[in-house]
Structure 1
Amino acid sequence: MTAQRIHRGALVVAILTALTNAVLAAVGILAPGTAFVLWLAVELPLFALVVTVTVVRIRALRRSGASWNAVLDELAGPAAGLIRAELRAYRSLWLFARRRRDGLRDGMVAIGYTRGTMGMPIAFLIACVVETVAIHLLVPWPWLRTTLLVVSVYGFVPLLGILASRVVHPHLLDDARFVVRSGHQVVATLPVGTVEKALIHRRFQHTSPIVEDDVLYLPGSDGTNVDVLLREPIEVKLPYLLERRRTTTQVGRVALQVDDPEDLRAAFAALRSETGITSTG
């Protein structure tokens, strides 16, 4: 606990010192030369202290057997979930740029679910770009324009990553299982033998993930378009931004929004033919 307090205290002091120095230099109270001297004499040693304490704590936690997730939880506290989300956004952008799909291997079928769902996020992204350009043209102070530009770009990258996440994390189907995902989160893993059949069925009543009447709804912006009927209940874990807020339950049917429900139904039919699994419906 003492190490944690020292670490967080040093980090807070370092950040506040850097911000104070930057603001004073920006408004002209400190000359650029003076601000640079303060950076060398005060801020640089403080950040070096923070880095040293961070490395020492990481090594101590790893020696005690803590996983990397546990290390992040210990170091970042409540902010750990947001840090993970941001790192996953960067990873999704990297996969998208390389035209890769997470977890997709030979023999697997990728089932996309982004068609018709990107309109609103893309419109929001365009609005943010327009707002950034307007601020850059209207704000008269160069230092503030530059600051706002950096903050805006920093905000765009994770947003693009969230959009890319839905593309690079499709549902996955092979001869053993059907993995249902929402972005990077696995919502359910359905053994192929538990799948009775897939029916094309358009539903409009739900537009966000929910379990209702023994049915998992994993919709797009205009509902779901395919129902997967199960021979026996399976466990599902509802998606949520923060992992610790996700809830687990059992369902007997899964209603999904996919790009092409006919392709999904045909894929299940082909698997039943190959494996000898018969449908009772």
Structure 2
Amino acid sequence: METETAVGTRPARIALLAMVGLAVAGVVLTAAGHSDAARVLALAELDVLWIVLLATGVILHRHRVPLFVGWRRIAASLPPGPVRRAIVSELGLLTALIRAVAQRPPHVPLNAIPITSTQGTLPIPIAIAVVTVLEVAALHIIIPWRPVSIALTLASVYSLILFFGYLAERRQHPHYLTATSLVLRNGAHTIATVPLDNIDAVTLIQDGSVTYPAVEGKIARIATMEGCSISVSLRSPQLLALTARHRASEYAVSEIRFAADDARETCARLLDRR
């Protein structure tokens, strides 16, 4: 049974899918040289738009939902859950990239000490940027249809922007140390908040066995391309989740290894506050 917050969402979703389908068909027809047919489809998109606006307005009126409130609820519930989470994630990446370009300070609480781990992250973005430039050049040579070539070029550039946003998000959300805890993060996701009184030992290490966050047995590695440089042994097991996914697995670990640009200074701070 449809609830009040979902009133009008279903027809809006159907109309949106129809408009996307018409838009894709229009691009294909334009690329094939059938511009007249593409114009007809564009007019059909406008017809779908005004029909759904009218029909949704009638539905909201029948359910006695104010028009503005109804459309705001529809906009909030229009994308399915996974799509909504993907949109929020992309917006987070773009926001982090803007903050990094503007040289804004990282997201840490007041009086907290950020623990950055950016060493070894530059070569991969440079390589991907070079590959993207070569890919764009190849698209213009291989694909004879200019609209399709432009669309694929924009998609490649946007994916590169998102990748740089992924890196920026990790720079904007570093691990950090407070007066009472060590907070370890994977981008905007908090992997674990470790109370300082639960830390048994802190040691410098050189662990290059993995280059990404992973758990093996009772050891969690929050690694970068340089691996891990600090090991924190715990007095009692710590629960953590490596990602913010809806069904991400939780692990109970007795040792956490992570990377830090200034590993010696970070170890000294941890030992001093422990």
What 5-or-longer segments of structure 2 have no aligned partner?
Answer: 3-7, 57-67
1:55 to 1:121, Cα distance in 2 relative to 1, 3 A:
farther
- Aligned pair count? 257
Report if aligned partners of 1:4, 1:75 keep a CA contact under 8 Å in 2: no
Aligned residue type for 2:192: A
Q: CA deviation at 1:46?
A: 2.7
Are 1:255 and 2:269 matched, yes or no?
no
Q: Match of 1:26? A: 31
Give the drift of 1:51. Answer: 7.3
The worse-fitting range, judged by mean Cα deviation, of 121-130 and 247-256 is: 121-130
Give the TM-score normalised by structure 1.
Answer: 0.79
Please give the alpha-carbon distance, in whole angstroms, between the structure 2 residues aligned to 1:133 and 1:44. 35
Matches within 5 A, 1:1-281: 3-31=8-36, 35=39, 39=42, 41-47=43-49, 56=70, 58-59=72-73, 71=76, 75-239=79-243, 243-272=245-274
Query: Per the alignment, do residues 50 and 214 of structure 1 end up closer, same or farther by CA in structure 2, a change over 3 Å counting?
Result: farther
Distance in 2 (CA, whole Å) between partners of 1:192 and 1:50 is: 57
CA distance in 1, matches of 2:188, 2:33: 46
Whole-angstrom distance in 1 between the partners of 2:53 and 2:237? 49
Q: Structure 1: which 5+ residue stretches go unaligned?
A: 62-70, 273-281
Residue by residue, what CA displacement relative to the aligned partner does 1:101-124 show, whole Å, maximum 9, x if unpaired? 443244211111121134234312
Measure the CA separation in 1 of the matches of 2:51 and 2:119.
49
The root-mean-square deviation of aligned C-alpha atoms, in Å, is 2.8
Q: Using structure 2 for the length normalisation, give the TM-score.
A: 0.81
Q: Deviations over 1:220-272 (max 9, x none)?
A: 234311101223222211226xx114111222211112212112112213324
Q: Distance in 1 between matches of 2:182 and 2:235?
A: 14
Label 1:123 to 1:245 Cα distance change in 2 as closer, same or farther (>3 A): farther
Question: Percent of pairs identical after alignment?
Answer: 28
Change (3 A) 1:198 1:19: same
